[in-house]
Copies of this chain bind each other. A is one copy, B any other.
Amino acid sequence: MISFECDYNNGAHPKVLENLIKYNDAKPTPYGFDEFSERAKERIRVACGLPDAQIFFLTGGTQTNATTIDSMLYQYEGVICVGSGHINVHEAGAVEFTEHKIITIADNNGKMEAKTLDKYLDDYMHDGNKDHAVHPGLVYITFPTEFGTLYTAKELDDIYQVCQHYEIPLYIDGARLGYGLMAEENDITLPYLARHCDVFYIGGTKIGALCGEAVVFTHQNAHKHFFSIQKQHGAVIAKGALIGLQFDALFTDDLYFKLSEHAIKMAMRMKQIFIKKGFEFYVDSPTNQQFVIMDNTLVEALSQKMKFTHFGQADKYHTICRFVTSWATTEEELDELEKILG
């Protein structure tokens, strides 16, 4: 059965697997202090245009968010996020587990708006009781957002300016970073993004790797004991080269970007299929996740023929369905989708 369920229900890209096989007997130094991890970091630095970036590899998104956020905050500080933000709704309270509050503000199609952020921080600064409140210590956004939407270069710059004005760092969750960067309407490059935040992560799990995310601190601002914090979070693996080797492959010959581009091409064809069939969308997404509004009875029928997920109820009779492409999606799968939709 074809599946548009998610972008993490497949294995690794062949070149990633190849790298693991090739160096399986290389006896790398443990805990990520190996030459392959170093080589991968150097490739990422080049791709980001940040020769001084500090890079750490972790295994998954929730782990990466909780560890990075915890490393950036004092105990009395919290992280600002839109209510629909991934850390606020889909990570089982992993941030609160580190004793930090997620301070939620309103979103616009999944995106944080600079003016909303500015209003919150301005109110906070003028609050006579602010020492009785959680201090805002970090701003968290995702690129793309939970709804697949993207910040424009201007919007990102606006948010980062607010952050800099209040001297609060900006963290970008890039679980699907490539799928955002390679979107047709996107006007942000990886170096631009890297210059407009304090820390971000490049998601590997959803784009070609078996596991692994690369956290990038952009200006020598990683906690000096980040490794110990990572260990304390259970977020260090003994054979760190497992992740290093995968990112080494992903950042060789632009593989990461090519894989992402393919997923976008597939997503845009999928979008056209749905448009052609007269479907409406919950949100206009330019990335690899498409949110289609469907009659409940149709949802039931289609569920027998392919995999996709229910994102929520549009109204009593309609469901918001999520269809996802990935680097592994094929034209044949889309042909099949077209056929099924009839």
Q: Chain A interface (Cβ within 8 Å of chain B)?
A: 3, 5-6, 8-12, 14, 17, 20-21, 23-30, 59-67, 70, 74-76, 78, 83, 89-94, 96-102, 104, 123, 128-129, 131-135, 205-206, 210-211, 225, 227-229, 231-239, 241-242, 309-310, 312-313, 328
User: Is there contact, CB below 8 Å, between B63 and A131?
Assistant: no
Which of B14, B25, B29, B99 is A99 in contact with, Cβ under 8 Å? B99
List 19 interface pairs A-B (beta carbons < 8 Å), by A numbering: A8-B238, A11-B26, A21-B21, A62-B231, A70-B75, A75-B75, A75-B232, A76-B92, A76-B225, A89-B133, A92-B132, A92-B231, A93-B232, A94-B233, A99-B99, A132-B228, A135-B225, A211-B211, A234-B235
Contacts of A5 in B (CB 8 A): 30
Are A10 and B25 within 8 A (Cβ)? Answer: yes
Most chain B C-beta atoms within 10 Å of own C-beta, residue among A28, A94, A241: A94
The complex places the Cα of A100 from the Cα of B92 at a distance, in Å, of 10
Q: What residues on B are CB-neighbors of A92 within 8 Å? A: 76, 131-134, 228-229, 231-232
Interface residue from B66, B241, B242 paired with A234 (Cβ < 8 Å): B66
Q: Smallest distance from the beta carbon of A192 to chain B beta carbons, Å?
A: 28
How many angstroms from the CA of A208 to the CA of B237 in the assembled complex? 14
Asked if A76 contacts B238 (CB within 8 A), the reply is no
- Give the number of times this chain occurs in the complex, counting copies: 4
**B237 pairs with A59, CB closer than 8 A:** yes
Given A24-B11, A27-B3, A101-B102, verify A94-B225 contact (CB < 8 Å).
no
Do A309 and B128 touch (CB < 8 A)? Answer: yes
Smallest CB–CB gap between A11 and chain B, Å? Answer: 3
How far, in whole Å, are A328 and B5 apart by their CA atoms in the complex?
A: 39
Taking the nearest CB of chain B, how far is it from the CB of A221, in angstroms? 16
Main secondary structure on A side of the interface with B: loop
Interface contact A231-B96, CB-CB below 8 Å: no
Q: Is there contact, CB below 8 Å, between A232 and B76?
A: yes
Q: How far is the CA of A101 from the CA of B231 in the complex (A)?
A: 14
Q: Looking at the assembled complex, report how far the CB atom of A131 sits from the nearest CB atom of chain B, in whole angstroms.
A: 5
**Contact B96 A63, beta carbon cutoff 8 Å:** no
Assess the A30–B11 pair: CB atoms within 8 A.
no
Cα distance A234–B30 when bound, in Å? 21
A334 to chain B, nearest CB (A): 16
Residues from chain B with Cβ under 8 Å of A309 in the complex: 128
**Beyond A8-B238, A93-B100, 9 additional pairs, beta carbon < 8 A:** A5-B30, A11-B23, A11-B26, A11-B241, A60-B237, A92-B131, A92-B132, A99-B99, A135-B228
User: How far is B104's CA from A67's CA once the two chains are assembled, in angstroms?
Assistant: 24
Contacts known (A30-B6, A128-B309); A211 close to B237, Cβ less than 8 A: yes
Q: Nearest Cβ distance between residue A6 and chain B, in whole angstroms?
A: 6
Contacts of A83 in B (CB 8 A): 104
A222 to chain B, nearest CB (A): 13
**A73→B96 CA distance, assembly (Å):** 14
Chain B residues in 8 Å Cβ range of A241:
11
Query: From A209, which residue of chain B is reached at the shortest CB distance?
Result: B239
